[in-house]
Chain A
Amino acid sequence: MSHYLLRRLLIAIPSLIGISIVLFTILALAPGDPFEELATNPAVPPEVRTALRAKFGLDDPVHVRYLRWASAMLQGDWGFSFVSRVDADRLILQRLPATLFVIGSAQILALLVALPVGIYAATRPYSIFDQIANTLAFIGFSLPTFFTGLLFILLFSIYLDWLPFVYTEVNETGWRWWWGHLRQAIMPITVLGLFQGASMTRYVRSAVLDVIRLDYVTTARSKGLAERIVIGKHVVRNALIPVVTLVALQMPAVFGGAIVTEQIFRIPGIGSLLISSILANDTPVIMAVTFVFACLVILFNLIADVLYGWLDPRISYR
Chain B
Amino acid sequence: MDERELRGLIEDVKVGKLSRRGFVGIMTAVGLTAPMATQLLALSGVAHAQPKSGYKPTKRGGGGALKVLWWQGPTLLNPHFAVGTKDQDGSRVFYEPLAGWDADGNLVPFLAESVPNLEDGTLAKDGMSATWKLKKDVQWHDGKPFTADDCIFNWEYARDPATASVTIASYKDVEVEKVDSHTIKVKFKKPTPFWADAFVGARGMQIPKHLFEDYRGGKSREAPTNLKPVGTGAYKFVDFKPGDLVRGELNPNYHESNKPYFDSIEMKGGGDAISAARAVLQTGEYDFAWNMQVEDVILKRLEEGGKGRVLVTPGGNIEHIQLNNTDPWTEVDGERSSIKTKHPSLSDPAVRQAMALLVDRKSVEDHIYGRTGIATANFLNNPERFRSKTTKFEFNIEKANQILEAAGWKKGSDGIRAKDGTKLKFVYQTSINAPRQKTQAIVKQACQKAGIDIEIKSVTASVFFSSDVANPDTYTKFYTDIQMYTTTMTQPDPELFMNQFTSWEVATKENKWQGRNITRWRNEEYDKLFRAAQGELDPVKRASMFIKMNELVVNNQVVIPVVYRPAVQAVSQKLHADISGWDNNTWNLRDWYRDA
Which residue of A37, A46, A157, A276 is within 8 Å of B83 (Cβ)? A37
What band does the interface of chain B fall in when counting residues whose beta carbon is under 8 Å from A? 35 or more
| Cβ contacts under 8 Å, B306 to chain A | none
> How far apart sit A46 and B69, CA to CA, in the bound complex (Å)?
31
**Selected interface stretch from A11-19, A81-89, A188-196:** A81-89
Q: Known: A83-B83, A84-B243. Is A31-B463 also a contact (CB below 8 A)?
A: yes
> How far apart sit A279 and B83, CA to CA, in the bound complex (Å)?
14
| Cβ contacts under 8 Å, B270 to chain A | 263, 266, 268, 272, 276
> How far apart sit A161 and B307, CA to CA, in the bound complex (Å)?
13
Select the residue from B164, B242, B465, B500 with max chain A CB neighbours within 10 A: B242
Q: Which chain B residue shows the least CB distance to A273? A: B243
Is A31 touching B466 in the complex (CB atoms < 8 A)? yes
Contact flags (1/0) for A154-169 with B, using CB distance below 8 Å? Answer: 0001100100111011
Select the residue from B275, B476, B516 with max chain A CB neighbours within 10 A: B275
Q: Known: A91-B242, A94-B241. Is A266-B166 also a contact (CB below 8 A)?
A: no
Is B467 touching A166 in the complex (CB atoms < 8 A)? no
| Cβ contacts under 8 Å, B500 to chain A | 42
What band does the interface of chain A fall in when counting residues whose beta carbon is under 8 Å from B? 35 or more
Q: Which chain B residue shows the least CB distance to A276? A: B243
Is A52 touching B466 in the complex (CB atoms < 8 A)? no
Contact flags (1/0) for B372-403 with A, using CB distance below 8 Å? Answer: 00000000000000000000000000000000
| Cβ contacts under 8 Å, B253 to chain A | none
Contact flags (1/0) for B251-289 with A, using CB distance below 8 Å? Answer: 000000000000010101111100100110011011000
> How far apart sit A41 and B488, CA to CA, in the bound complex (Å)?
8
Is A43 touching B462 in the complex (CB atoms < 8 A)? no
Which residue of A169, A171, A263 is within 8 Å of B271 (Cβ)? A263
Q: List 25 A-B contacts (CB under 8 A).
A: A31-B471, A32-B466, A33-B467, A35-B467, A36-B467, A38-B83, A38-B166, A40-B488, A41-B166, A42-B516, A43-B170, A43-B491, A44-B169, A45-B168, A48-B164, A50-B514, A85-B226, A153-B278, A164-B283, A166-B268, A168-B266, A168-B268, A264-B271, A272-B270, A280-B75
Is B465 touching A39 in the complex (CB atoms < 8 A)? yes
> How far apart sit A221 and B76, CA to CA, in the bound complex (Å)?
67
| Cβ contacts under 8 Å, B479 to chain A | none
Q: Which of A50-88 contact B (CB under 8 A)?
A: 50-52, 55, 80-81, 83-86
Is A86 touching B227 in the complex (CB atoms < 8 A)? yes
| Cβ contacts under 8 Å, B476 to chain A | 39
Give residues in B with beta carbon < 8 Å to A: 65, 69, 72-73, 75-76, 78, 81, 83-84, 161, 164-166, 168-170, 203, 221, 226-227, 239, 241-245, 247, 264, 266, 268-272, 275, 278-279, 282-283, 285-286, 460, 462-463, 465-468, 471, 476, 488, 491, 496-497, 499-500, 511, 514, 516
| Cβ contacts under 8 Å, A94 to chain B | 241-242
| Cβ contacts under 8 Å, A281 to chain B | 462, 466
> How far apart sit A165 and B65, CA to CA, in the bound complex (Å)?
18
| Cβ contacts under 8 Å, A276 to chain B | 72-73, 75, 243, 270
Q: Is A234 an interface residue (CB 8 A)?
A: no
> How far apart sit A96 and B247, CA to CA, in the bound complex (Å)?
19
| Cβ contacts under 8 Å, B239 to chain A | 169
Q: Which chain A residue shows the least CB distance to B467? A: A39
Is B268 touching A36 in the complex (CB atoms < 8 A)? no
| Cβ contacts under 8 Å, B164 to chain A | 48, 51-52, 55
Is B266 touching A32 in the complex (CB atoms < 8 A)? no
Which residue of B165, B203, B468 is within 8 Å of A48 (Cβ)? B165
Is B286 touching A40 in the complex (CB atoms < 8 A)? no
> How far apart sit A315 and B468, CA to CA, in the bound complex (Å)?
54
Closest beta carbon of chain B to A202's beta carbon, Å: 32
Q: A44-B168, A95-B244 are in contact. List 4 more A-B contacts (CB 8 A).
A: A37-B84, A42-B497, A48-B168, A49-B467
Is B271 touching A266 in the complex (CB atoms < 8 A)? yes
> How far apart sit A52 and B221, CA to CA, in the bound complex (Å)?
12
| Cβ contacts under 8 Å, B84 to chain A | 37
Q: Known: A41-B488, A46-B514. Is A153-B275 also a contact (CB below 8 A)?
A: yes
Q: Which of A256-302 contact B (CB under 8 A)?
A: 263-264, 266, 268, 272-273, 276, 279-281
Q: Is A47 an interface residue (CB 8 A)?
A: yes
Closest beta carbon of chain B to A262's beta carbon, Å: 8
Q: Which chain B residue shows the least CB distance to A45? A: B169
Select the residue from A40, A86, A279 with max chain B CB neighbours within 10 A: A40
Is B244 touching A272 in the complex (CB atoms < 8 A)? yes
Is A169 touching B245 in the complex (CB atoms < 8 A)? yes
Q: Known: A31-B462, A36-B466. Is A171-B264 also a contact (CB below 8 A)?
A: yes
Is A43 touching B169 in the complex (CB atoms < 8 A)? yes
Is A169 touching B247 in the complex (CB atoms < 8 A)? yes
| Cβ contacts under 8 Å, A40 to chain B | 465, 488
Contact flags (1/0) for A88-102 with B, using CB distance below 8 Å? Answer: 000100110000000
The 9 closest A-B pairs by CB, nearest first: A84-B242, A268-B244, A46-B514, A266-B270, A33-B466, A31-B463, A32-B462, A39-B467, A84-B75
Q: Which chain A residue shows the least CB distance to B284? A: A161
| Cβ contacts under 8 Å, B271 to chain A | 166, 263-264, 266
Closest beta carbon of chain B to A254's beta carbon, Å: 20
Q: Known: A55-B164, A85-B226. Is A157-B283 also a contact (CB below 8 A)?
A: yes
> How far apart sit A40 and B73, CA to CA, in the bound complex (Å)?
19
> How far apart sit A40 and B518, CA to CA, in the bound complex (Å)?
12
Is B83 touching A43 in the complex (CB atoms < 8 A)? no
> How far apart sit A33 and B471, CA to CA, in the bound complex (Å)?
11
> How far apart sit A80 and B468, CA to CA, in the bound complex (Å)?
21
